[in-house]
Amino acid sequence: MKPMLNTLALGLSLTLGLPAWAETQHERHVAAGDHSTALAEGLVKKIDKAQGKLTLKHGPLANLEMPGMTMVFRVEDANWLDQVKPGDSVRFLADRVNGVFTVTRLEVVKP
């Protein structure tokens, strides 16, 4: 009976303490200048409106732990494809959405 009570107490303490711990970790990352959500820089190489895709030559993507390369991304908002053309410089945030690399934020860099 005692091992069961110990397990219950441990589980309860983790359940109650985990949200507070996660919040302090988030605050530490923000204070330390965590760049996991920093926008990456890229160059538009190709636009595929029919497929909702954008080919970007980009620098490192910190949040995906990915080096710079040229690759195809889906876009979260298909209207963004009307705002860019090949050769445009952009800043963007990409993430895995349902297992697919997707641009979740896009800004055109004005010359």
Q: What CATH number should be reported for the domain holding residue 89?
A: 2.40.50.320
Q: Is residue 54's pLDDT more than 50?
A: yes
- Whole domain around residue 13: which residue ranges? 1-34
**0.95 exceeded by the pTM?**
no
Least confident among 33-42, 53-62, 68-77, 98-107: 33-42
Which tokens in the block code for residue 81?
Answer: 């494809």
Mean pLDDT, range 69-75, rounded to an integer: 98
Does 56 share its domain with 87?
yes
Does 30 share its domain with 44?
no
Q: How many helices (H) and strands (E) does the chain have?
A: 1, 5
Does 48 share its domain with 85?
yes
CA distances (Å), origin 72, targets 43, 62, 80, 81, 95 = 12, 17, 15, 13, 13
With bands split at pLDDT 50, 70 and 90, how would you rate the model's confidence at 19? Answer: low
Looking at the structure of the chain, the number of domains it has is 2
Q: What's the chain's average pLDDT?
A: 83
Does 13 share its domain with 65?
no
Which tokens in the block code for residue 62?
Answer: 């910190």
Does 82 share its domain with 44?
yes
